[in-house]
Amino acid sequence: MTADDVTPELPTASRPASRARWGIFLAVAATVIIADQVSKAWLVANVAAGQVMSVIGDLVRLVQSQNSGALFGLFRDQAILFGLVSLGVIGLIAFYHGRAGRSLYLSIALGLLLGGAIGNMIDRFRFGYVIDWVDAGLGSIRFWTFNVADSAITLAIIMLLAMAIFPALAGSSRGEADA
């Protein structure tokens, strides 16, 4: 045996951590799911379908809306199909998180994405539509009606885009991520 045959083992502290932060990921997802489902249950119990409840004048209102489609109401009456697609997306999010490493930032972003996907999937399988309820805008110029799950998905996408532009947000340089 020569000195070339022995590869020195890096000390544990020097090795990049490769295990995902499952606790944070699942806690964020669970928080989104609970907040989403509780807010929708409250809304259904307190605001009739089509009723408008002002929160901040005309700027923010509560409106019970039933979205049987996908993003922005596209492809209406396909809730079961989108529910099944959601199952695949949920699997991909969990798989990617497991392979992504120990980035706290990425675990939070993917947890938001997972929680939002599950929150809306629950509605699709349970009701055949997603309950949307936040209506923001000025006068007749309104943004799309959305919910907590949609907000979490949007925030996750913004975080992931920011991470793509600024990789340091993930807590590692590109060189470390490729190693």
- Could you give the dihedral angle defined by the CA atoms of residues 55, 59, 65 and 69, in that order, rounded to the nearest 10 degrees? -140
More confident residue, 133 or 176: 133
**Residue 144 forms part of a structural domain:** yes
**Residue 179 forms part of a structural domain:** no
**Residue 77 forms part of a structural domain:** yes
What radius of gyration, in Å, describes the C-alpha atoms of the chain? 21
**Residue 11 forms part of a structural domain:** no
The tally of domains found in the chain comes to 1
**Residue 18 forms part of a structural domain:** no
Catalytic residue among 36, 123, 132, 135, which?
132
Domain of residue 110: give its range.
28-170
Catalytic residue among 36, 123, 135, 150, which?
150
**Residue 14 forms part of a structural domain:** no
Q: What is the pLDDT of residues 89-120, one digit of tens each?
A: 999 999 999 888 789 999 999 999 999 999 99
Q: Is 150 a catalytic residue?
A: yes
- Say whether pTM exceeds 0.75: yes
What per-residue confidence (pLDDT) applies to 83? 77
**Residue 88 forms part of a structural domain:** yes
Q: Is 132 a catalytic residue?
A: yes
